[in-house]
Structure formats: C-alpha cells, structure tokens
Structure 1
C-alpha cells in the first residue's frame, strides 16, 4: 500500500472514562495505549489505542460532545455507539483475544463461520462489547 491509497485511519469512540477504556483495550483486547499519561496530565484531549501501524481508536470523553460542531448534529452523536467495529486478526491472535477477554470476564458471543467481510468470508468470528457498550467483532480469514 502507498500513503495515497484509501484506508481506515481511525475511529473515535465515545467513552465515559478514557483512562479506564484505554486500560480495557490494553489488558483485555491487547492493543497498545497511546497518550494515556498525557491525557491524565491534561496535555491532550483524549488517549488512543493502536490497532496496527496505520489504524487507531480514539477514546473521546463524553465531555467533548459539546465541542463537536463541525457539522449539524455532530454533538448529538455522543453516547450513540456505531453498530460494531470489526477487527481482523491472524488465527493465533484471534484465539489469544478470546482467551484474554474471558480472563477479564468480558461476555463474548459464540463463534460464527463464513460471515462476509472486506476480504471475503471469514473462517471464524465472534462479538464482544467494551466497557462503554461499543460492540466489536473479531474475525480471522484463512490465508
């Protein structure tokens, strides 16, 4: 891929407690936290977690909702999670994620097979929710 191809850069999630949300994503999901200390010190508006080298989740506090005036209705989106976000993982990382979530008492769905996605039909997938109710799907494809 090149820097000029269309890709997903980031998704902003509304969360009640960004530090706790970053902890959840680090401990239960295994994602790298970014700017958590800086957020706690008031130096940045929100922390993030890294999905891969080119995609992050921003963990925006609900208190920022009033500042979301770039388009009509943006402020009203606070607290309304998207339907779900799908993480595509290698098979071993998929299994490790399922284990980590169970160890953190996160409710997870059963395993589905052959659900359609950006790369065709996934071998296996399951769903879980974060601390703020955002729904995630985890999946892997046969390579």
Structure 2
C-alpha cells in the first residue's frame, strides 16, 4: 500500500429517477441511503448512497447536467466516459451481493478470476448495470 492519504470521497452518477436509483442501490446492491427522505421532501438537491464510511455515490438527476457550469465542458459530462465503477467486498458480501442482484432480476456477467485491481489480483469478479446503464464491477480479494 502507498502512504498516500488521498481517498475517494464520492462519484456522481447521472440518473433519470433519483428515488428509483436510490431504491435500486439500497435494495439490490445493499448500500445505505443518504438524504433520500430530504430529497423526496425537496430539501436536498439529490440523494446519495453510502459505499463505506468514506465514500458515497451521488444520484444526480440527468436533467441537471446542463446546469453544470463550474468547469468548461462540464455539462457535456453526462454519460461520458466512465467505463465502470468497481466495488471491492469481502467474499461473503460478494456472494450476498450476487444473490441479491439475481433476486432483483439484474443481469449479471459470468464470474471472472484473477483480474488486476488496486490490491493486486482479485479472486473473483462480475459485472452488472444499474437501471440507468452505469456499469459496476464487484470483486473480492483473498485476505
């Protein structure tokens, strides 16, 4: 491991229905909802889901992309060009996620082996899409 103190804070996903996306991530993926009730009440601009203590996924309404003015070209970022987001889990949580996604009717890739990532080669991995087409990889490493 490096001694870098930088961490991944959040990823913003463009979604067509933030509440439906939050339900998917809570129910099918098993992530904790953040500010979902506040968003539903009009008190927050978007809901989020918690990946871990340090990282969340923000579920931003795709229609708001045109308002992204903080950087030239930011509005064009909607749908560009993230290939996938990888979630690393312990083996038992990996199995539980795959089961939960299947129970929700989410199409899953076959299980791959020994794909390289931040912690070396992962024992197993698979891919799935959320309802808005964002691609996720789930993996676990032998500990």
TM interval, short-chain normalised: over 0.9
Let me know the Cα RMSD of the aligned residues.
Answer: 1.1
Q: Give the distance between the partners of 2:41 and 2:63, measured in 1 at CA.
A: 16
Report the alpha carbon displacement of residue 11 of structure 1 after superposing the two structures with TM.
0.3
| Runs of 4+ displaced beyond 3 Å | none
Q: Give the distance between the partners of 1:41 and 1:79, measured in 2 at CA.
A: 27
User: Are 1:86 and 1:137, in contact at CA under 8 Å, matched by a contact in 2?
Assistant: yes
Q: Give the TM-score normalised by structure 2.
A: 0.95
In the alignment, which residue of structure 1 is the partner of 2:131?
Answer: 131
Q: Give the distance between the partners of 2:60 and 2:81, measured in 1 at CA.
A: 12
> Which consecutive unaligned segments of at least 5 residues does structure 1 have?
none
Report the alpha carbon displacement of residue 81 of structure 1 after superposing the two structures with TM.
5.7
> Cα deviations across residues 31-55 of structure 1 (Å, max 9, x unaligned)?
0011111111111110000000000
Q: Give the distance between the partners of 2:128 and 2:68, measured in 1 at CA.
A: 28
Report the alpha carbon displacement of residue 79 of structure 1 after superposing the two structures with TM.
3.2
